[in-house]
Amino acid sequence: MKLHELTALEITQKIKARQVSAEEVLDAHLRRIEAVDGLPGRLDGDSSAEPSKVHAFITLTAERARAQARAVDEKLAAGQDLGPLAGVPVTVKDIFCVEDTPSTAASKILANFNAPYTATAVERMEAAGAVILGKVNLDEFTYGSSNESSAFQPAPRNPWDTSRVPGGSSGGSAASVAAYEAPLSLGTDTAGSIRQPAAFCGVVGMKPTYGRVSRYGLIAFGSSLDCPGPLSRTVADSALMLQTIAGADPRDATAVTVPVPDYVAELEKGVRGLKIGLSPEYFQITYLDAVTGKLETQPVPDVMKNAVLDAAQRLAAMGAEIVENVPMPHTRYGIPAYFVISRVEAASNLHRFDGVKYGYRAQAGITDLRSMYRRTRAEAFGPQPKLRILMGMYVSAAQYSEQYYNRALRVRSLLRRDFDEAFAKVDLLLTPTTPTSAFPIGGLYGDSVLMQYADQLTVPGNHAGVPGISIPAGLDADGLPIGIQFLGPDFSEDIILRASRAYEVATESESWRQAKPALAE
Amino acid sequence: MDYEVVIGLETHIQLNTQTKIFCACKADSWNDAPNTNICPVCTGMPGVLPVLNRTVVEKGVLLAVAMNADTPPVSYFDRKNYFYPDLPKGFQISQFDCSLAKGGWLDLPMPATDKDPAYVRRVRIHKLHIEEDAGKTKNESVGGYSRRLIDFNRCGVPLVEMVTEPDLRSADEAAQYLTRLRQLLRWIGVSEADMEKAHLRCDANVSIRPVGADYLNTKTEIKNVNSIEAVRAAITKEVERQKAEYAAGRKIESWTLEWDEDSQSLKKMRSKETEADYRYFREPDLLPVYLSDAWKAEILAGFPELPLARRARFISAYGLPEYDADILTGERSLSDYFEQAIAAYGGDPKRASNWLLNDVMRLLNESGLTAGELKLTPAYLAKIIKLVDDGIINTNTGKSLLEKVNRSGQSPDEIVETEGLAKVSDDSALRAVAESIVAENPKEVESYKSGKVGLMGWFVGQLMRQMGGKADAPKARAIFEELLQ
């Protein structure tokens, strides 16, 4: 087994057993990155450069990582206790601040910003012995589902087929894990931004309960929706990482004080007695036809539906009770409500990027304060932030907020009620993660409404604040990964992880489990 | 035409917490160099989050209750969005539609004047909420270019914004409101309320209307008034201007005016065409503020009697004149001191008040201390007044004793004992001294006997000097009268 193919758990075990040093593990991953990642994303970079490479990174912090790896090795040599992530290489979505490291949000406006402090989730991983490899690419400010909107090009590509997108917005995270550049990555999920790229890249991605993981240091998109969470190749690794990053934080008032269970210890307890629900609303996509304005419904492709039904059968065989036809009547309102709520929050969250304190400031044509604001924001925000600012400003204006924003908040309560009623009957919901597998680069970019339907099955969980996971469930006819999703009630991460692990066990001998992305080294 | 003046005041009150409202930086930056009391949170770095300082809520609740406002069990923070360089997040965290307090009022006692008898003006509170302060912008010109310098020290300093209804009817009433508000803020310990240090800031909305009208005319807003006297002067000026405008047949426009302290005049800052849309929405980074009954009870434990109520009680219960009651309730420590002193004294409260207003106030002014900090405790003061009342010491000795007690912290009895300050009323001792004075001053004796009876004061004075001021003067006089017959 090659070192870079080890899971995080295996790495910690081998380091503790002194079979390998943290620095050797780091070197193996740095070599892998060198071999498959290609050019890092940079401002004004060529989007079509090196089309067979992964391009997950914006900033590789190899020196910082080496210092951390050596510290682990020295601790071990000194006989000191090692943390639960000792020596595990981790990539971090470049939406988190890490002290003295460029923290760009994949935007020109923050391209020169070195954060003066470290995000809580990163700080906790570092304290647990993790080795932070660097910052990986994303859609600008997380606004997208493909990574194509990054101001840092080339954008990440899907390791399974580099002509396709890795998904987004945590595309660099998912791609780096799928390409064996790191066993773990820290992502964020506002409407599906961990789960959808995880599904596209054939990895595990978990969106925890809102408030389970501190948002301190996460450059905000939709503050009431954003959740940091793990991406990994195995369920156990996500459990291990969540264990480390979860918990109350005195710097985040919305981080909850609910105790963090031992997710790893719970993993193998199986699904016997669990009630797992299937919902008809999650086997279809409902959308407004852009031309006719009519509400249209399309079933998800059979391959997605069959993956869910197959999983249900396997779990039933392991003792779970499958409950069909769990109604989730408001699912189709998830995206419109998300469009309004997330954009109001986003527009406000982007106010601080004004050229005054940090980041980009326009130099030419400045006549007064207003022109400095206007030019700075016009020159340094890409199309996605601009669209979101426009819409967010519009729907929160005094004369429209009742019609849009307040109405969207009421819809959000209805979505929450769907989950409350479902979880009164079942322990978990099992659904497809996405309506499609990874789409071709350039395929949907620019049509942001249609691209957002990639989130229709994931965004209700963000509205409701409930936890969800996407786990690999096979390959489609094109050899592209597909994902299935578990959703559970607040703080049911332990149960979700258990069920996910059970499915992993049940499919252990399937041939797709052995498949790996074929990347030229 | 006779006009009625209509004034509403908008005040910003800096709460005297240790730390800022949403981070651990210290709240007060007075005299600190610019941008030295800041952190990622209060400078709005990407990714930071606010965490509410509970003391801010507690002080806000104290003020709300003192202003007779209701405090709903749940309130929310909202974002007020606008761009300005000294607002680092591009929004201010404030409260909008569900704030910490609802309603409220303050009754202002307006003193009698030559024209009018005393009356009470009730001022209703339109809104009261907590919010964070912004930074300070300094404009300067360098080489023909103007530039802005931003100091973020003040960002995140906790404020209460309190706005009155347009219930004030004169510049004097506006000044009285601020005087009483400042007194109240210090009394309940929520703010230092120093206007010069911008702990208490005031904008005044001013309009006039014909007497008897019930509509509101267009108002102007006066900003940058940094003292109570400035508020009075600025409003007076603006009322004159508005009267002149109407008299000339012109209209009042909705201007924002700035008070220039140096020239004592108002300058137009801008015209207010439209109301800004701040696109308020709930602050998603903060939880609702749940003010439970238990928490509220904890906050209000030991809530004091308020100054105006105490003032009224001093008048009714102790029979003090308004003047005395006003001064004695000007500051909480002094009024507590007074009550403790009269409890220990047991005599006429007015007599104790005289001692306080004349002598104790002088000690306070000289030392800069509050009454509660004096070494001259209320019990010692009471003892000194009793010593004088009982004829043990005379009034002058009493006054110097006051200072000795305050310097040393020793009890008055001890000092009287060790320094032998007690009045000499022993007949034989007085007689011996008086006889020697008569013997040594034959000329004065002669004059007296020949009819210059005014010399009696001189004889008593001689005796007092020789006896170190401790003699019982009426007794000494009687002895001299006998010797000089």
A167, B63, B176, B332, B346 from B305: Cα distances, Å: 65, 13, 20, 9, 22
- Is A117 touching B (CB cutoff 8 A)? yes
Determine the residue of chain A that is closest to B89 in CA distance.
A352
* The pLDDT value given to residue A486: 98
Cβ–Cβ < 8 Å for A420, A295: no
- Is B47 touching A (CB cutoff 8 A)? yes
Contacts B156 to A, Cβ<8 Å:
none
Q: What is the distance between the alpha carbons of residues B312 and A43, in angstroms, rounded to a whole number?
A: 72
Tokens coding A129:
């012995």
* The pLDDT value given to residue B425: 62
Mean pLDDT of B382-395: 88
pLDDT category at B392 given cuts 50, 70, 90 is: confident
Contacts of A472 (CB under 8 A, 6+ apart): A199, A202, A203, A204, A481, A482, A483, A512
Mutate to test the interface with B, among A348, A368, A376, A393 (most CBs of B within 10 A): A348
Active-site entry in A107, A170, A193, A279: A193
- Active-site residue A169, yes or no? yes
Q: What percent of chain A has pLDDT over 70?
A: 98
pLDDT over 70 at B443, yes or no: yes
Cβ–Cβ < 8 Å for A160, A474: no
Tokens coding A9:
């758990």
Average per-residue pLDDT in chain A? 95
Least confident of A171-185, A202-216, B16-30, B106-120: B106-120
Contacts B22 to A, Cβ<8 Å:
none
Active-site entry in A14, A53, A93, A207: A93
Report the relative pairing of strands A89-93 and A42-43 from DSSP bridges. unpaired
Q: What is the distance between the alpha carbons of residues A182 and A60, in angstroms, rounded to a whole number?
A: 12
pLDDT category at A444 given cuts 50, 70, 90 is: low
Could you please report the per-residue DSSP string of B78-97?
A: EEEE---TT-TTSEEEE--S
Cβ–Cβ < 8 Å for A499, A271: yes
Least confident of A64-73, A435-444, A472-481, A493-502: A435-444
Looking at residue B173, its amino acid is E
Of the partner residues B47, B79, B286, the one whose CB lies closest to the CB of residue A219 = B47
CB atoms within 10 A of CB B110: 17
For CATH 3.90.1300.10, list the domain ranges present in chain A. Answer: 3-256
pLDDT category at A189 given cuts 50, 70, 90 is: very high
HSE-up (13 A, CA, CB side) for residue A95 = 34
* The pLDDT value given to residue B220: 95
Contacts A389 to B, Cβ<8 Å:
none
- Active-site residue A107, yes or no? no
Cβ–Cβ < 8 Å for A274, A322: no
Report the CATH architecture of A3-256. Alpha-Beta Complex (3.90)
Mean pLDDT of B210-237: 94
Coil, strand or helix at A193: coil
Q: How far apart are the first and last CA of chain B?
A: 78
Q: ipTM score here?
A: 0.95
If one compares B418 and A74, the residue with the highest pLDDT of the two is: A74
- Active-site residue A193, yes or no? yes
Average per-residue pLDDT in chain B? 93
- Is A462 touching B (CB cutoff 8 A)? no
Residue B170's beta-bridge partner residues?
Answer: none
pLDDT over 80 at B183, yes or no: yes
Outline where DSSP puts E strands in A193-252.
204-207, 227-232
Decide if A373 and B83 are in contact by the 8 Å CB cutoff. Answer: yes
Determine the residue of chain A that is closest to B146 in CA distance.
A368
Report the relative pairing of strands A152-153 and A184-189 from DSSP bridges. unpaired
Q: What is the distance between the alpha carbons of residues B342 and A99, in angstroms, rounded to a whole number?
A: 63
Mutate to test the interface with B, among A114, A117, A356 (most CBs of B within 10 A): A356
Phi first, then psi: give them for residue B20, nearest 5 degrees.
-65, 175
Mean pLDDT of A47-59: 97
Cβ–Cβ < 8 Å for A110, A101: no
Q: What percent of chain A has pLDDT over 90?
A: 91
Q: Which helix (H) or strand (E) holds B142?
A: strand B136-142
Mean pLDDT of A489-510: 98
- Is A354 touching B (CB cutoff 8 A)? yes
- Is B285 touching A (CB cutoff 8 A)? yes
- Is B96 touching A (CB cutoff 8 A)? no
Looking at residue A228, its amino acid is P
Report the CATH architecture of B427-483. Orthogonal Bundle (1.10)
Determine the residue of chain B that is closest to A256 in CA distance.
B287
Mean pLDDT of B97-104: 97
Least confident of A211-220, A411-420, B134-143, B280-289: B134-143
A136, A144, B213 from A382: Cα distances, Å: 18, 12, 56
A24, A90, B91 from A19: Cα distances, Å: 10, 20, 54
Decide if A103 and B48 are in contact by the 8 Å CB cutoff. Answer: no
Outline where DSSP puts E strands in B199-334.
200-210, 220-225, 255-260, 265-271, 281-282, 289-290
SS (H, E, C) A80-117: CCCCCCCCCEEEEECCECCCCCECCCCCHHHCCCECCC
Tokens coding A426:
């079942």
Decide if B46 and A219 are in contact by the 8 Å CB cutoff. Answer: yes
Decide if B85 and A405 are in contact by the 8 Å CB cutoff. Answer: no
Mean pLDDT of B208-212: 95
* The pLDDT value given to residue B243: 96
Q: What is the distance between the alpha carbons of residues A213 and A211, in angstroms, rounded to a whole number?
A: 5
pLDDT over 70 at B455, yes or no: yes
Determine the residue of chain A that is closest to B44 in CA distance.
A352
HSE-up (13 A, CA, CB side) for residue A309 = 10
Phi first, then psi: give them for residue A106, nearest 5 degrees.
55, 30
Least confident of A81-90, B80-89, B139-148, B290-299: B139-148
If one compares B469 and B7, the residue with the highest pLDDT of the two is: B7
pLDDT over 90 at B19, yes or no: yes
Tokens coding A216:
């301190």
Contacts A393 to B, Cβ<8 Å:
279
pLDDT over 80 at B368, yes or no: yes
A138, A343, A362, A363, A368 from A376: Cα distances, Å: 22, 20, 5, 8, 12
Q: Which helix (H) or strand (E) holds A6?
A: none
* The pLDDT value given to residue B469: 77
Cβ–Cβ < 8 Å for B434, B387: no
Exposed / middle / buried, residue B355 (Cβ in 10 Å: 0-12, 13-18, 19+): buried
Decide if A115 and B85 are in contact by the 8 Å CB cutoff. Answer: no
Tokens coding B330:
């000007």
Q: What is the distance between the alpha carbons of residues A471 and A232, in angstroms, rounded to a whole number?
A: 10
Phi first, then psi: give them for residue A431, nearest 5 degrees.
-145, 165
Decide if A253 and B286 are in contact by the 8 Å CB cutoff. Answer: yes
Q: What is the distance between the alpha carbons of residues A376 and B83, in angstroms, rounded to a whole number?
A: 13
